[in-house]
Each structure stands twice: as structure tokens, then as C-alpha cells.
Chains A and B, each alone.
Chain A
């Protein structure tokens, strides 16, 4: 990680732009902090002061928010931040084993950045995360908050090595992975034009629909039910 450059005028203008999306400017704080992370790679004292100045609140109030939410990082993360779900279902399905293997392989603990070896073009950090709403693809990893479904210890090691080597890696249900900082910019509400990458749904998402198609099952025909029914329900 390079030394942190000061926030430039463009970023400060964008921070103001975020605040202006809302009826009350302070509502912009969460996305503004995402933008600070995108610009500086972490939540910096300068970022906190700048948000506070724009929103006309104290730095302590911004600090209180920045320390409450787990996605805000006071220390840097890698170019690729790998989250291993170790909530119960993923843990049982292999998440614990994957997390252990990655800790051993990367020689780091939870929420740490692996050393950049000679020849590595990118860095990787590791964190265990809570349920990420992809339980039908367990065990699940997130890389820069993109889904990596149905992982094994081997696939996880191969993936982090591919990332460190600078090879192209795609989400199993989404786009080609971009850097953590680029991801943070999307979370701040600045789309990157990649919404059309990846499929509409992964295989597990379609499990029920495929069975319905095989059997010809569907919701009732609206024509067979009265369009307007008499009021009978008191809910």
C-alpha cells in the first residue's frame, strides 16, 4: 500500500454531491465514508474531518459511525479483500476449513493483509464474515464483496494465488473482479457500468424454477380469478 494522498478536489466535490442526494445531508454519511475508502484505501483522519466539515457535525460523531460498521477499515486492506463466511451454515459446510486453510496459506490471522511476495502484482487480505445471503451456495467466499460460490479449501487457495499473480478472476455469479477501492466507489453510489456482466441467476437460484418448468407449474391464471373481488377481508 502506497502512502495516502490527500483527498483531491474532485473527491471533495463528490462527497458534497452524495450529501446533496438526501433531504438531510447527514444521510449521506455512510456512502461518503465508502467514497473516502475508495479514494484513500481506508478511513483516514483526513476523511473523517472532511466528512464532518461538509455535514457540519463533529469529527467525533463521524468517528462514532465509522467505528460502528464493519465495512469501514481503519487500517488498509489488500487490493483484494477476501471474506470467508463462517456463520453456522457456511462454517458447517466447510467455511471453517477454508478459513483455516487460507490463514495457514497466507500466514496471517483474521483481518490482516498478506505479505506481498516478490513477483506478486496484487495484495490480498483476509477476514471471516457473517452470513452474506448466499446460503444456497455454501460454503461462500466474498472477494471485494462479489460472490465466490461453492468453494473448497483448494479452490480458495488457487483463487488467492491467481489474484496475487494478477490473473483475471471473475465472480461465480457476477463480473470480473475489480479492486477493493473500485468496489467502494460503487457503494458510494457512483456506478461503474458493469451491471450487465454476469448471469441473472446462479444455478441454485434457479433450482425451483427449473422444477416448475419441468412440471408446467405456474401461478394461477389471472383470468380464472375475478379481477376485482368484493371486500371481505379485514386483513
Chain B
């Protein structure tokens, strides 16, 4: 049995100047690099495959398998691109990870680039987090100065350059092909696939795009072995992951645990839902994953468990909403977000998210009719699976799941002639007599 919480990537966060190379090195940082250089690139890919590591950016694709898709007989340069565009509503793990432990990302970048035989890597960080960008810039600079980056790293004959690239505000750039467009200096609109980035990615060259937490998980796998990683988690969802609790819990924050932990266990650690209130609904993996309710407290938070219960593990972004929150208000706001962030490339998403927001606005204001609910479901049906990328699919998740679980609450808006909830009761300061 593993422990309830298993800090690996977060373990250094409480150290003095945790972000400095000296702190990281004192704790064995960059030791995995020599272990990696003693292996062949293919053996590293095999080790990562054997560990069972699956992408930590939401989709859960096996990381080692993604790497093995890079055609090594392609004469073009290979690239590694780290997706540090963390923007999915509720998701807040990569940002503190890069703030507190940027060197584990840099070490992961070096090993991963070596494995796929890339000599140039990019870390694409969303632009709206300047201090995180400072920390990663500084970590890369320190790694160059220490000989972990540049020419002939550790005498291995292997060369790697890393560029830290700031985005400029676009949720869609978290979609990997839109990210590549942004990194090529274009509007962030997704590309048609195939060809997949492994074959024709950045500059039409073979490219691996991985989430921050995925890449940061690689050094410990190389150092400690696949069996160590597999000792955590469940059969098909191995290893550790950062679970982000936010909203109406007493101790919101980051909890690094084996995959498969439940919300009930996490809430126990976090002191439960705030005093005097009940859990009403929550997202298992960000706003693009269908809502769960208090019926789902014991769903194992791994890829299969959450999928089996009708949602997606996503980014383990557990946004907790208590009984003071109007689900229609919540869903309308998310829908306005998707409408705003739709890149405009495809009709189902561009037009569909606009119409969803219109219908939901009416309902939240107590206008419209019950038939609007069926129309919403129908609209979602026409977006899901028909949009160019996952943004459109994600936009339907809160709508359909909220109607599934809270149809009565939608109807209550109609009978009440408006929203029956007082938003002041949901605030962080509600009950503390601070006037809002």
C-alpha cells in the first residue's frame, strides 16, 4: 500500500529557494541526467512506456508511446515542445510546479529531448504568469551555466538548446496544434490532423508536445525505475499526479497523490466542504469535463474510473461548489468563456457556443421555456464530435451534464422568474460580515 499522498514533484516546494539549481541539486536533482545518458534513447522510451506514464495535460495518452511515434528515419530536425499554456478553468497545477520546481521541468526536458533525439526544445508558457516565466527563464539560464544545457552535455556528445517562449493570451493555444501555430508566430488556430505533430509538427518536422507535469515526471522514472512509478496509482493509470482542490473547501490547494484517490479522501484531507454547507457539484478535471455531484464522491480519480462514471479525469482540477451556487450561473459563465475563446475556425464551435450562451442567459434570467433545455441538448449534440478540435466538445460538457443532474434547478428559474440564488452567499467572505 502506498501512502495517501505521495509528494514527488511537489516535495521540494517547501524548501528555501526551492527554485534554485543549488536547492534542486542538493536533493539529487540532475542525477537522472547521467543515468539517462548511460542509456540509449530507445531504452529511455521503453522505460517511460514501461512506467505506464500517461499524459498529464488532460487526454491521458501514453507518453512513451507518443515518443515512439517520432519517425527517426525522417531527416528533418526533431523538436520537443512543452505545453505550459495551463488555462483550462480550474486547472492550477503546472503554474505552481514551474514556480516552485522549475528545474525538474528542465531536467525532464533534457532527458525527453535526448530520448526523441531533438536538439532544440521549446517551453511555451502562457503569457499571463510573468513570475512563472521569470523562474523558468532563470532555471534554463542556470542549467546552461552548469553545463546541463548547450553543447556536449555532461560529456555525452549530446547538444540541446532550450527556448522559453511566452504566449499572449489564448486558451485555444493549449490545444497542441494551435500551440504550434502560436509558436510559429501565427494566430492560434488548430490544424487538421493527420498529419499528427509526431510526423509533421513544428516547422512540419517531427515534434513531441507534452504537458509540463508529464515531462517533469520523467526524471524520477529514469532515476527510480518504472516499477517505482507503477507502485503508485492503479493498473491502467499509474503513478502520481497533482490534484488541485479549489472553491468551497476549507483547505484548497495542491495535493499530490497516486492516481485513483477519491474526492471523498481528498475532501477529508482538505477539511471538507466549508462549514454549514453541502457539496453540490464539482468538476473532476476542469470545466471541459462533465460535472459530477455528491453521488460521485467514491469514484476513483483515474482515467478509467472517471470515464466509467461519465466524465473525464482531465487535469485533476477539482472545482468544488456548495449548495449556495446556482448551477445555471456557473454553466453560463463557462459557456461565455468558451464563446470568448473559440478561435472562430469552425462553424459548430464559433456559432454553437454563441447560441448556447444566448439560451443559457435567457434561462438564468428566468425567461424562455422548458423547450429551451431540449434545444440546448440538441445544440450540444450538433457541436460534440463535429467541432474541429476539443474546445467545442469541451464546451458542451457543463451544459449537458448540468441538465442531466439539475434539470429541476433550470426549471426553478422559470417558475421563479429569475435566478433563485443569492450570489453573495457563495463568496469567500460570505457570513463574515464584510460587505460586498
Contact = CB atoms under 8 A, between A and B. Distances in A.
Contacts of A27: 165, 183-185
Nearest to A190: B137
Interface string B1-40: 0111111101111111111100000000000000000000
Interface in A159-201: 171, 173-175, 183, 186-189, 191-192, 194-196, 198, 200-201
A130 B173 CA distance: 14
B50 to A, nearest CB: 5
A3 interface: no
Contacts of B46: 231
B14 A209 contact: yes
B108 interface: no
B333 interface: yes
B340 interface: yes
B293 interface: no
Interface string A197-208: 010111111111
A68 B170 contact: yes
Contacts of B317: 135
Interface in B82-102: 86-92, 94-96, 99-101
Interface string A56-88: 000000001100111110000000000100111
B410 interface: no
Interface string B169-201: 111000000000011111110000000000000
B128 interface: yes
Given A30-B182, A200-B99, A207-B254, A195 B137 contact: yes
B247 A233 contact: no
Nearest to A70: B169
B228 A175 contact: no
Contacts of A126: none
A159 to B, nearest CB: 15
Contacts of B90: 89, 131, 135
Given A133-B95, A233-B50, A186 B134 contact: yes
Interface residues of B, number: 117
B253 A207 contact: yes
B356 interface: no
A209 B7 contact: yes
11 contacts: A31-B166, A34-B168, A131-B90, A133-B94, A147-B129, A186-B133, A191-B134, A200-B100, A201-B99, A213-B14, A235-B52
Interface of A: 21-24, 26-31, 33-34, 55, 64-65, 68-72, 83, 86-89, 91-94, 96-97, 101, 129-139, 142, 144-147, 150, 152-154, 171, 173-175, 183, 186-189, 191-192, 194-196, 198, 200-213, 215, 217-220, 222, 225-229, 231-233, 235
Interface of B: 2-8, 10-20, 46, 49-52, 62, 64-65, 77, 86-92, 94-96, 99-101, 120, 126-131, 133-135, 137-138, 141, 163-171, 182-188, 203, 220, 223-228, 230-232, 240, 243-247, 251-257, 269-270, 287, 317, 319, 321, 325, 329-330, 333-334, 337, 340-341, 343, 423-424, 426-429, 434-436
